[in-house]
Structure 1
Amino acid sequence: MVATLLHEIPLQGGDVTCGVVRVGDTVRRPASASTPAVHALLRHLEAVGFDGAPRVVGMDEFGREVLTFVPGTTGLRAESASDEALVGLAGLLRRYHDATVGFPLTLDGWESGSNDDKAPEVIGHCDVTPENVVFRGPGRPVAMIDFELARPTTRLFDVVTTLRHWAPISDPVDRPRLLRTVDVGARIRLFCDAYGVPPRDRRRLLDVARLRFHRSYAVMHARAAAGGDWATMWAGGAGQRIRRASAWLDVHEDELYAHLV
C-alpha cells in the first residue's frame, strides 16, 4: 500500500478517466476492472527494458492505482505536430509493439473496444492521442501514458488508431488548427515508412480505418447509453465526428491509397 502524504494536483487532458491527480513524482488514477491487466503489461514492459511507459508503484489507501509520473509535455503544439515528431512517434509505437511480444495475448480483463478481425499480434495501446504522448525537447516523443484502453489487437489496428489522431484521418472541420491543412496522405506514408509497415498491411490500412470508424461508433454509442464520461463525449459530438471522418475517408480514399502503394 502506497500512502498519500503530499498535495494532490489534478491532471487534465483525458476524455474518459476523471479523478487523475499528481502526487509528488507519482500519478494516482481510479482503479477499474482492467487495472490488473494493465499493471501486468506495464510490469512486463519494465522487465524487458522498454522506457516509454510509466512504472507501476502499487495502490494507495484510497484504492487508486499509483504510477510513476513521466515528466514532459503533452498535447498538440507546433513541435509535436511536425513531421519529425511524427517519425519519432512511429518509432516509439514500433518499439512498444515489439516490447509486448511475448506478453500473453489471452490474458483476460482488458477494456473492451473496437478491434480488427484478424488474430491479435500485440497488446495495442489503442488510444495514442496527443494528450497521451509525452514529449521532451524539440518535438521528441519519449513515452505513452494512459493505458486503460490497451487490449490485444493487430499492429495495423493500433497504427490506424494512432493515425486517426496524428495524420489525422478526419474531416478538416474537426482537426486541430495545427493539422487542418496538412497533406494527410503524405503523413500516413511518412508514419508507415518510419514504423516499417509492410506492403500487405499498407494495402489494407484504409479498409481497417473504415472498419474502425464503424465499430468505434457502435462501441461509443453503447457506452454513452450507460452515462458517465462516455455520455459526455457523445453529447459533445463524438459520434458526429466519427461519421464525418468516415465520409471524408470515402471521398479521399484514392488519393490516400496512392501514397501507400
Structure 2
Amino acid sequence: MKEIPLTGGDVTEGLVRVGDTVRRPPGERDELVRAVLLHLESVRFDGAPRFLGVDSAGRQTLSYVEGEVAGRPRPGWIADEDRMISVAQLVRAYDDAVEGFGIPAGLPAPIEPPGLPDLADPPELVGHQDITPENVVFRDGRAYALIDFDLARPVSRAREMVNLMLWWAPLGDDADLDPGFRGLDRPRRCRLIADAYDLSLPDRQRLMELAIGLNERAWHTMKYRTETLGGGWQRMWSEGVGEKITRRQDWLESHADAITTALIA
C-alpha cells in the first residue's frame, strides 16, 4: 500500500501512514513503548494508538488515530481554554490507566549527560512526557488521544504536569511562544490545568521548584543529545533551542511565586 509521510515532529524521522496504520522506526525506549501500549489496550484505555506489531522493515506498526492535530503553523484555537482543560483531563485518564503497569526494572538509562543533579522526585508511573500540541489528537474540540510515546519514561505525576504546562499554559517568555499563546494569563491557565488533572496540594506546592530544576536539566540534556545523536537534536540546537531554554529559566524564576500562588489559592 502507498506510504504517506507524516511530518511536523522535531526528532523522529521516517514516520509514514499506510492505510489505517502508522509505521515508525524503533525509538530509544522501543520495548517500553510497546509494553505500555499493550497495557493500555488491556485496560481498555482508548486515548492511545494500538500496537499492532512490527512490519517487514522492522518498524513499529500502530493504529492510525483519526482526528485534528495542532501542527505548524498553529491553528486559531490553540489557546482555547476548554481544549486545554480537555488535554489535562486526558492526561489524568492516561496516568490513571498506566499506573497499574508499574515501573519496570532494567530499563535502559536515558540519554543524558552524567552528573545531573538529583531532583528528589521519585517516579510513580510511566509518563508520556512529550505532550506537545503535535502529540494530542482532538475530536469535536476535545482531546481524544495521545500519540508519539517515544519519550515515555518513569516519572512522578508532578513531573507529568510540568511537561503538560510547559506546552499548554505555556511556560516561557512571550517572545519564544507561538503568537496564539502570547499575552495569556499563565498563572490562571496553570491553575485550570491543575484543577482539571486534580493535582494534589503537595504537588502544587513543589511544582515550580521542580519545573525550574527540570528546565536546567533540559539545557544540559539537549546539548548532550546534540553532541552525541545529531539529527533532529542538532537541528533544534542550531535553531536556538538552548537560548530559548535559558530565557525560559529566567521566566520561570521570575514567575514562580505568582504561579504557585495561583495553584494553591
- The TM-score normalised by the length of structure 1 is 0.94
**What is the letter of the counterpart of residue 27 of structure 2?**
S
**1:74 aligned to 2:72?**
no
Partner of 1:168 in structure 2?
A: 170
**What is the letter of the counterpart of residue 141 of structure 1?**
A
- The residue matched to 1:221 in structure 2 has which SS? helix
Asked if 1 retains the 8 angstrom alpha-carbon contact of 2:6 and 2:15, the reply is: yes
Structure 2 distance, partners of 1:56, 1:149, is 16
Q: How far apart are residue 32 of structure 1 and its match?
A: 2.9
Partner of 1:3 in structure 2?
A: none
Q: How far apart are residue 145 of structure 1 and its match?
A: 0.3
Structure 2 distance, partners of 1:198, 1:113, is 30
**What is the letter of the counterpart of residue 39 of structure 1?**
R
**1:217 aligned to 2:189?**
no
Q: How far apart are residue 80 of structure 1 and its match?
A: 4.1
Q: How far apart are residue 257 of structure 1 and its match?
A: 2.0
Identity across the alignment (%): 43
Q: How far apart are residue 77 of structure 1 and its match?
A: 2.5
Instruction: Specify which of 59, 63, 67 is matched with residue 64 of structure 1.
Output: 59
1:198-255 CA distances to partner (integer Å, 9 max, x unpaired)?
1111111110110110111111110000212111111111111111111011122222
Asked if 2 retains the 8 angstrom alpha-carbon contact of 1:189 and 1:259, the reply is: yes
**1:186 aligned to 2:184?**
no
Runs of at least 5 residues in structure 1 that lack an aligned partner in the other structure: 1-5
Instruction: Specify which of 251, 256, 259 is matched with residue 253 of structure 1.
Output: 256
**1:102 aligned to 2:100?**
yes
Asked if 2 retains the 8 angstrom alpha-carbon contact of 1:111 and 1:150, the reply is: no
1:157-196 CA distances to partner (integer Å, 9 max, x unpaired)?
0110111111011110111111111100000000001100
Asked if 2 retains the 8 angstrom alpha-carbon contact of 1:116 and 1:157, the reply is: no
Partner of 2:232 in structure 1?
A: 229
- The residue matched to 2:235 in structure 1 has which SS? helix
- The residue matched to 2:56 in structure 1 has which SS? coil
Deviates more, 1:11-20 or 1:74-83: 74-83
Q: How far apart are residue 111 of structure 1 and its match?
A: 6.9
Partner of 2:85 in structure 1?
A: 87
Structure 2 distance, partners of 1:117, 1:254, is 21
Q: How far apart are residue 11 of structure 1 and its match?
A: 0.5
- Name the CA shift for 1:113/1:245 in 2 (closer, same or farther; >3 Å): farther
**What is the letter of the counterpart of residue 72 of structure 1?**
G
Structure 2 distance, partners of 1:73, 1:113, is 31
- The residue matched to 2:102 in structure 1 has which SS? coil
- Name the CA shift for 1:32/1:111 in 2 (closer, same or farther; >3 Å): farther
- The TM-score normalised by the length of structure 2 is 0.92
- Structure 1 residue runs of 4 or more that deviate by more than 3 Å after TM superposition: 107-111, 113-116
Partner of 1:112 in structure 2?
A: 110
Structure 2 distance, partners of 1:50, 1:110, is 26
**What is the letter of the counterpart of residue 149 of structure 1?**
L
